[in-house]
Amino acid sequence: MTKPIKEMSTGQLTQQLFEKLKAQLNLFYLALSFFTRIPVPKTMFYSEALLSRSNQYFSLVGLVIGLLLALSYASFSAFVPINIAILLVMGVSLLLTGAFHEDGLADMADGIGGAFAIEKRLSIMKDSRIGTYGAVTLIIALLLKFTLLVELAKQDSNHLLLAIVLAECLSRAIAGSLISSMPYVCDSEHSKSKPLAQAQSSSELSILLLIGISPLIFYSSEVILCLVLILFVFRRLFKQWLLAKIGGFTGDCLGAAQQISQLLIYLTLVSFANKDILSGVVG
């Protein structure tokens, strides 16, 4: 009589585990569908509450994008020169994400640079048109990204591929972590980022950061320490700056944080590469 009961208990445990894994996979699909143009299964279930919880997988989305971009570069570089391959990869990145984060960077630059009153700044950020501040910021950011990627490619293809994966993954962890420590200030009911701006639990933040730092295992302790320190200082200063300028964050600010973090990661890796500190880190 006891054997069927044990088998039933094991089956229930297995079913519960399966349901939990299915729920987490659904959260990942929600994050992937929100931040990219990558197709997701039609069985994905959507709700604003679930989309809010999906913030823990922002960095995993970055990891997927990074791997796709690394694969794209490996394919392009077999047929065209390095600089052209990098331009093509940047184009693929924009196609994969719909320029989601770049748009946020430009909108934040327009809003904060184009007004003094908080209400006016938030109003400008909601405007779909791009202004002078946004255009100039975006051009500089894209040119800097291209230049840094070319410099990394000159060192070694492996350095570039790892850098792309790391930057896409870790930068989203930094941006997503701001949700846990700042109020959401955009009060528009039509804001596409509002469902993501709810409170972030400690477990969600931990998952976000653990996935974000995972590519660092391929780097030396000196590189890891420097990157962590630079990104920590940036996050702290960026948070204080946003609080002073608009009293919190918007979805555009998260996009800007991702773009700036990404550039800081590339800049740091280029600095180490020029000092030959990265020599031997990648096999």
Given a cut of 80, whether residue 9 has pLDDT beyond it is no
Check residue 61 and give its pLDDT: 98
Residue 280 is predicted with a pLDDT of 47
pLDDT, tens digit, for every residue of 193-217? 555 656 688 999 999 999 999 999 9
pLDDT above 70 covers a percentage of the chain that reads 90
Check residue 278 and give its pLDDT: 43
Whose CA is closest to 90, among 170, 153, 175? 153
Helix (H, G, I), strand (E, B), or coil: what is residue 184?
strand
Q: What is the pLDDT of residues 57-84, one digit of tens each?
A: 999 999 999 999 999 999 999 999 999 9
The pLDDT tens digits for 12-35 are 778 888 888 999 999 999 999 999
234/249 Cα distance (integer angstroms): 15
Ramachandran angles phi, psi of 37, nearest 5°: -100, 10
d(CA 241, CA 248): 9
**Which residue is listed with tokens 């702290």?**
236
Mean pLDDT of 153-175: 95
Q: What are the domain boundaries of the chain?
A: 50-274
Average pLDDT, the chain: 90
Instruction: Measure the CA–CA gap between 26 and 43, rounded to whole angstroms.
Output: 9
Contact present, 184 and 242 (Cβ < 8 Å): no
pLDDT confidence bin for 282, thresholds 50/70/90: very low
pLDDT at 277: 47
**pLDDT-derived band at 91, boundaries 50, 70, 90:** very high
Q: Is the pLDDT of residue 96 over 60?
A: yes
Res 191: pLDDT: 58
Angle at 34 between CA 23 and CA 60, to 5 degrees: 60
pLDDT tens column, 181-197: 899 997 555 555 555 65
Two tokens, residue 31: 């994050």
Angle between helices 132-155 and 82-97 (to 10 degrees): 130
Q: What is the pLDDT of residue 77?
A: 96
Q: Is 254 in contact with 178 (CB distance < 8 Å)?
A: yes
Residue 174 is inside which H or E element, if any?
helix 157-177
What's residue 49's pLDDT?
A: 86
Share of the chain above pLDDT 90, in %: 73
Question: What are 230-274's pLDDT values in tens digits?
Answer: 999 999 999 999 999 999 999 999 999 999 999 999 999 999 988
pTM of the predicted structure, to 2 decimals? 0.90
CB 86 within 8 A of CB 146: yes
